[in-house]
Structure 1
Amino acid sequence: MHYHEYDDLIENNKKWVAEKLEKNPAYFQNLAQGQKPPFLYIGCSDSRMPISSFTQTEPGELFIHRNVANQVSLTDMNLLAVLEYAVEALDVQHIVVCGHYCCGGVEAAYKGTATGVVENWVSPIRDIYMANRQYIDSLPTEKERLQKLSELNVVAQVKNICTTSVMHRAYKTMKYPTVHGWVLDIEHGFVKELQLPVAEWQQLGILP
């Protein structure tokens, strides 16, 4: 894989601007008018996860929050501020939590190798593994075990989204975004939409 030098980033930006203006002279004027993205995307900070490339979306379509291993921590003011703004100011129609296979954070949680702040950060994933250890360990390969843990992590974080005060307020208004769980298969490039236990969450009062 070819990696760019620092100066390449600035030069590439100039080329990109020129290409956009050639196609549409008002492109950036229109972009500066404001945003009304239909999607809030919560993903992993992994450098291989440029979701705009994978979904072929343009600037203005995705409101984005990313952190290590796509965690939805109910004490993370950064995430909660993003969520509140997306739901209450931008009126997003969909919230997507997207994990991925080959995730370093998930692997560190699974193997118990994380240290320092990262260890604290991925401890909820470690808890997910321990709670499902018998099932996960029954899978034949480590690759499959890690993939399943990535999927379970996404479902857990979608559930966390639904338990926030932001979403509770939205549910009371009956105007609320639909939640989705995705996993990106980096080896093949495809997004996998996960089946969420919607009926179970409704019975528990987590979803309306």
Structure 2
Amino acid sequence: MCATDINHYLENNQNWVKTVLSQNEEYFDVLKEGQHPKALLLGCSDSRVSPSMVLGSELGELFIHRNIANVVSHTDLNFLSVMQFAVENLGVRDIIVYGHYGCGGVKAAYENNSNGLIDNWLANIKDVIRHHKSELNSIEDQNTRLNRLVELNVLEQIENIKQTSIYRQAIDSGNKLKLYAWVFDFNTGVVHDLKKKYNIKPSIV
């Protein structure tokens, strides 16, 4: 992408500011007072899955953290710090793990080739593959198998959140955190709630 293309984003920004102010002159006055997000969202870094655009959220509605394949790693101080700040400082009670079908990170983990530094990160997903090996091997179509792995990875990250000290301390303090497992489908643009899709009991997700 050339410099001219990048500068186009600045032009878009200026046009957006004009549009926002034409609809609400006090928009930025309210925004600068502080944030009160409704949920913490852990999504994939894939450029095609922008949560704000797909979910139609406004500025300040979602506290967002993104990484390769939406992984909750217990050694990732970045995400753990984000989660702690969201729960303890911002008072967030809803946490969404937001994956997507066609995830390159999930596919790379499944193919198990050498990819360099990222292999250390993908080891988290390889654990998911190992835990669900029988189910995955029973699916003949590879695309369907990878889609199921995407879902299993999202559900596994929900379980990883439950094992964090942040989650446990919140529960022990009487703060009921609600966890959501969502997957975005490029083919339709629809975000699937895995809890409803597979009739998972609320106590699990």
- TM-score, normalised to structure 1, is 0.91
Indicate the RMSD between aligned Cα atoms, in angstroms: 1.5
Do residues 23 (structure 1) and 37 (structure 2) align? no
Runs of 4+, deviation exceeding 3 Å: 196-199
Counterpart code for 1:99: G
Counterpart code for 1:82: V
- Which is further off, 132-141 or 176-185? 132-141
Superposed, 1:36-75 pairs within 5 Å as 36-75=36-75
The residue that corresponds to 1:5 in the other structure is: 5
* Structure 2: runs of 5 or more not aligned: none
- Which is further off, 108-117 or 6-15? 108-117
Q: What do the CA deviations read for 1:109-155 (whole angstroms, capped 9, x no partner)?
A: 01112522211101121121122222112212111000000000001
The residue that corresponds to 2:160 in the other structure is: 160
- TM-score, normalised to structure 2, is 0.92
Counterpart code for 2:100: H
Do residues 170 (structure 1) and 170 (structure 2) align? yes
Counterpart code for 1:173: S
The residue that corresponds to 2:96 in the other structure is: 96
* Structure 1: runs of 5 or more not aligned: 202-206
Instruction: Please give the secondary structure, in 1, of the residue aligned with 2:117.
Output: helix
Identity value in percent = 41
Partners of 1:80 and 1:176 in 2: CA distance: 18
Aligned residues: 198
